[in-house]
Amino acid sequence: MNYNRYLKRHFRNSTVYIFFILFTPKGLVAQTDPAFKPISADIVKLSSKVLGEDRKVYIYVPPIDTLLPNKRYPVLYILDGDNHFSLIAEYCQYLSRRDVNVVPEMIIVGIPNTNRIRDLTPTNSIWGYDGKPDTSSNSRFKSSGGGNNFLLFLGAELIPYIEAHYKTTHFKIFAGHSFGGITTINCLLTQPNMFGAYIAISPSFWWDRGYLLSLAEEKLKNDRIINKMIFYSDANEGMPDDPTFHANLLKFDSIITQRKITGLDHKYVHYPEDTHMTEPIKAYYDALRFIFRRWDSH
């Protein structure tokens, strides 16, 4: 699809509201370091024609550099923005500080959920983690399978909006946890050119009886050239069949490693001392260090 034509036809009448909010974690209230600055963000509401609903996003922009007023920034798009936006923004603000200086300053775009199961699953499926189908009339998986449409929303509406209204470079990162992790991997496998780097924390490969593992087997061929980066990880997931979750990550890692995809820079990390919900704290930090390990601002 021609995204520019799509936007001209469907996005012209979209309404956008920009607000201002301060994200100050409670643990930082007593911070006295003069280098510390609370994270501030625009809250933008897009009227999405693709999704048929209004979507709110959080946008952190680094402070204006008076010496470089036209400076442009890479952009990191983070799923589950209602949970992980402030964490990622704090990491990036700290790691890009002049006295730390291990990543560039970045624009962070947090995408909160409206219907998480719909948007962050690639197929419609009633199969649960336990391998049993949920055939009840009120199945929580009933709305699943909107993941590819959600990627269209990103490519046709959200990314063009960010690039039109903020000073961005061409380099973009797509990050997600759990269902968000399979969303980033689905994007890498089906639309790899949408982003330059991908982060998948505890991706739920169990979804639809291993659908994405089968897709990876199909898409990641020995003769494929994918000049991208991907960081993926898992933890002690705390689920009844935890070894299967870990085995799925090992299988995905073996597919990437054995196929030796030209240009695909990858790293897998296992965090056995962490749980599904504590892992992002370590993993997002490690992912940023991996992606920018060769970065030098000088």
First-last CA distance in the chain: 39
Owning domain of residue 93: 3-291
Classify residue 298: in a domain, yes or no. no
The CB density around residue 129, as the number of other CB atoms within 10 Å, is 14
Q: What is the structure's pLDDT at 31?
A: 40
Which pLDDT band, with edges at 50, 70 and 90, does 290 fall under?
Answer: very high
Which secondary-structure segment (H or E) carries 277?
none
Q: Would 296 be classed as within a structural domain?
A: no
Number of domains composing the chain: 1
Q: Does 297 map to a domain?
A: no
Q: Using alpha carbons, select from 193, 161, 198 the residue that is nearest to residue 182.
A: 198
Q: How far apart are CA 57 and CA 285, in angstroms?
A: 22
Instruction: Give the pLDDT confidence score for residue 14 in this predicted structure.
Output: 41
In the chain, % of residues over pLDDT 70: 85
User: Quick one: pLDDT at residue 140?
Assistant: 87
Residue 88 has pLDDT above 60, yes or no: yes
**For 121-172, what is each residue's pLDDT tens digit?**
999 999 988 888 888 888 889 999 999 999 999 999 999 999 999 999 999 9
Q: What is the CATH number of the domain that holds 67?
A: 3.40.50.1820
The three-class DSSP label of residue 263 is coil
As a whole-number percent, the residues of the chain with pLDDT over 90 amount to 72
Are the beta carbons of 37 and 63 closer than 8 angstroms? Answer: yes
Identify the band that residue 33 occupies on the pLDDT scale cut at 50, 70 and 90.
very low
